[in-house]
Amino acid sequence: MKKTNKPRKITIDPVTRLEGEAKISIFLNDKGDVENAYFQVVELRGFERFCQGRPVEEMPRIVTRICGVCPGAHHMASGKAVDDVYHVDIPSPAKKLRELFYCAHMIHSHLAHFYALSGPDFVVGPDADPAKRNILGIIEKVGLQVGSEVIKHRSYAQNIQGIIGGKATHPVCNLPGGLSKAINSEERKKIEDMAISLVEFSKFSLKLVEDVILKNKGYMDLITSDPYRHETYYMGMVDESNRINFYEGDIRVVNQRGEEYAKFKPKDYLNHIGEHVEPWSYLKFPYLKNVGWKGLIDGPDSGIYRVNSLARLNAAEGIPTLLAQEAYEKMYETLGGKPAHFTLAFNWARIVEMMYASERLLELVRDEEITSKDIRIIPTETPTEGIGCVEAPRGTLYHHYWTDEEGMIEKVNLIVATGQNNGPMCISIKKAAQSLIKKFQVKEELLNMIEMAFRAYDPCLACATHMLPGQMPLEVNIYDSQKNLFNRLKR
């Protein structure tokens, strides 16, 4: 190998298992160490622009198509935004019914991600045969019965959303003033039966985490290792007692030591969040405006913050349901206290949250108001501007609409969950690459290690896609300075 033929650029194209499209480009310096790594999002659809001119009441039915994996989150944030546009406070049963739908939505997303996507790295093993590192490998390890339980409970979570939302994928029930349809007692009973089963399934999943991950020192060492640790700010929605809530509350931001840095109403988000643009990605980089944009670095001086499961738990002081609170305490005890900065622990936090969503689902379906027909009011005020915010499975989601007095959209602003983790994902990928690639030696493990760095964020990945059986090879092409293919790593 001649010196001039040393590889200088590594491209992973496309990055797979991502909702949307992306690629990773890694650049080496003269010594063969990683100089920089870029996580590039390679498309844009422009909902902010083409929603202009649409009637605002249609927005909950249009924005669902931003994401088919978390359409429920966009439908909910949009539903709250259109209520706000018309200055209506929807009836209490309507809020409960929306939150009930939303619990099922969170369960669907978290369950699919854990079992189909991130789970294989831990349950099967980070260094297991890559061909087994998928849902089939999990089934092989824990038994066929678990596989059918996963499929069954994923379909329960979809069914509940379908009963309330009309369709599970791309629900239609929200409109300004509430929901289009109440549930009857027969539907309530169906949901209750599924909720009982989902609570049990969440318990089982927590036990699986304990048995398979916590009892394995190797996994715990990996979770707490330096390549996967970043000290950042964390953001999440909290209730009046600073406990987590996915549907309604204030936004709390904690610093690297876990102290409250900011707490604000969702409607004040523009005072706290700015979005930076880089010419090499279609996805913007949100940051804490009052700390400032300092580039793609972590630490207290950088406005980079994280969202999604672990960030939410870091930003809160507890969980309002019994079993989830127990699991929460156990997680932090094991991880050495709060906040936990370990990227891979997002996966664990997801199961703690699934426990909460299941318990809350059961609570709500047994609420005496849940079958009330008082789920809608007709807005009478002149529409103006509105903001809707929920915790999407992948983090805080803001929808902001401005209309004319007829309720036709004039302007739209969207800050989506995965966007907020864009900066952190870039940092995580670079750190993982830097720790693995030295002196032109690109080790095989790099492939999965880099994937694990972004997979923990569940970057709006098509969660359930790993349900499919089959081998999952990955390839990294390494180019020399003349851009000739120098080496190809394959597993």
Partner 1 sequence: MKAKKMKLAIVTGSTCEGCGISILDLNEKLLDLTALADIVYWVLAMDFKRHDLEKFKKKDIDICIHHGTIRTSEHVHIANLLRKKSKILISFGSCSCFGGIPGLCNVTNREDIFKAVYKETPSTVNTKFIIPQKKITHNGHELTLPELYDDGMALDQVVAVDYYLPGCPPQVELIERLIPIIKEFLGTGKLPAKGTVIAPEKNLCDECPLERENKIIDKIVRPHKVIPDPKICLLEQGILCIGPATRGGCGAQCINALMPCRGCMGPTTDINDQGAKMIGAIASILGVEKEQDLSSEEVEKLMDQIKDPLGTFYRFTLPVASINKSYKEKGLE
Among 226, 406, 439, 482, binds partner 1 (CB under 8 A): 406
The radius of gyration of the chain from alpha carbons, rounded to an integer in Å, stands at 22
Applying CB under 8 A, the site for partner 1 has a residue count of 106
* 90-129 residues near partner 1, rule: CB under 8 A: 112
Q: Are 137 and 124 in contact (CB under 8 A)?
A: yes
Q: Are 458 and 308 in contact (CB under 8 A)?
A: yes
Segment contacting partner 1 (CB under 8 A): 192-200, 201-209, 340-348, 471-479? 471-479
Among 286, 388, 393, 395, binds partner 1 (CB under 8 A): 286
Among 92, 129, 167, 218, binds partner 1 (CB under 8 A): 167
Residue 326: which residues within 8 A CB-CB, separation 6 or more? Answer: none
At 21, list the tokens: 């499209």
At residue 383, what are phi and psi to the nearest 5 degrees?
Answer: -70, 145
The neighbour count for residue 474, using CB atoms within 10 Å, is 17
Q: How far is the CB of 292 from partner 1 (least distance, A)?
A: 10
Interaction of residue 233 with partner 1, rule CB under 8 A: no
Segment contacting partner 1 (CB under 8 A): 193-201, 204-212, 403-411, 426-434? 403-411
Residue 327 or residue 449: which is nearer to partner 1 going by CB? 449
Alpha carbons 204 and 345: distance in angstroms, whole number = 18
Residue 288 or residue 327: which is nearer to partner 1 going by CB? 288
At 121, list the tokens: 């790295």
Interaction of residue 254 with partner 1, rule CB under 8 A: no
Residue 60 or residue 227: which is nearer to partner 1 going by CB? 60
Residue 244 or residue 296: which is nearer to partner 1 going by CB? 296
* 12-31 residues near partner 1, rule: CB under 8 A: 12-14, 16-21, 25, 27
DSSP-derived secondary structure for 295-334: SS--STTS--EE-SHHHHHHHSS--SSHHHHHHHHHHHHH
Q: Are 448 and 130 in contact (CB under 8 A)?
A: yes
Q: At how many degrees (to 10) do helices 144-165 and 71-85 cross?
A: 20
Residue 279 or residue 337: which is nearer to partner 1 going by CB? 279
* 407-436 residues near partner 1, rule: CB under 8 A: 407-408, 411-415
Segment contacting partner 1 (CB under 8 A): 233-241, 268-276, 321-329, 438-446? 268-276
Interaction of residue 291 with partner 1, rule CB under 8 A: no
* 442-461 residues near partner 1, rule: CB under 8 A: 461
Residue 273 or residue 456: which is nearer to partner 1 going by CB? 273
At residue 103, what are phi and psi to the nearest 5 degrees?
Answer: -60, -45
Residue with tokens 């099922």: 104
Q: Is 177 left (phi over 0), alpha (psi -120 to 50) or beta?
A: left
Interaction of residue 265 with partner 1, rule CB under 8 A: no
Distances (CA, A) of 83 to 86, 175, 233, 380: 5, 8, 31, 11
157: buried, middle or exposed (CB in 10 Å: 19+, 13-18, 0-12)?
Answer: buried
Residue 474 is classified by DSSP as -
Alpha carbons 347 and 208: distance in angstroms, whole number = 13
Segment contacting partner 1 (CB under 8 A): 185-193, 279-287, 351-359, 426-434? 279-287
Among 72, 177, 249, 339, binds partner 1 (CB under 8 A): 177
Among 127, 140, 275, 480, binds partner 1 (CB under 8 A): 275
Q: How far is the CB of 3 from partner 1 (least distance, A)?
A: 19
The neighbour count for residue 27, using CB atoms within 10 Å, is 13
Among 126, 169, 326, 489, binds partner 1 (CB under 8 A): 169
The site map against partner 1 for 359-378 (x = CB under 8 A) is -----------------x-x
Among 3, 46, 185, 221, binds partner 1 (CB under 8 A): 46
Interaction of residue 52 with partner 1, rule CB under 8 A: yes
In the chain, count H helices and then E strands: 15, 16
* 130-159 residues near partner 1, rule: CB under 8 A: 148, 151, 154-155, 158
Among 165, 393, 395, 459, binds partner 1 (CB under 8 A): 165
Q: How far is the CB of 86 from partner 1 (least distance, A)?
A: 8
Residue with tokens 């496309």: 14
Interaction of residue 276 with partner 1, rule CB under 8 A: yes
Among 32, 132, 180, 197, binds partner 1 (CB under 8 A): 180
Alpha carbons 406 and 283: distance in angstroms, whole number = 32
Q: Are 377 and 88 in contact (CB under 8 A)?
A: yes
Distances (CA, A) of 460 to 47, 61, 92, 150, 456: 17, 19, 31, 20, 11
Among 372, 465, 481, 487, binds partner 1 (CB under 8 A): 465
Interaction of residue 49 with partner 1, rule CB under 8 A: yes
At 51, list the tokens: 């929603």
Alpha carbons 483 and 294: distance in angstroms, whole number = 32
Interaction of residue 475 with partner 1, rule CB under 8 A: yes
Among 213, 316, 351, 462, binds partner 1 (CB under 8 A): 462
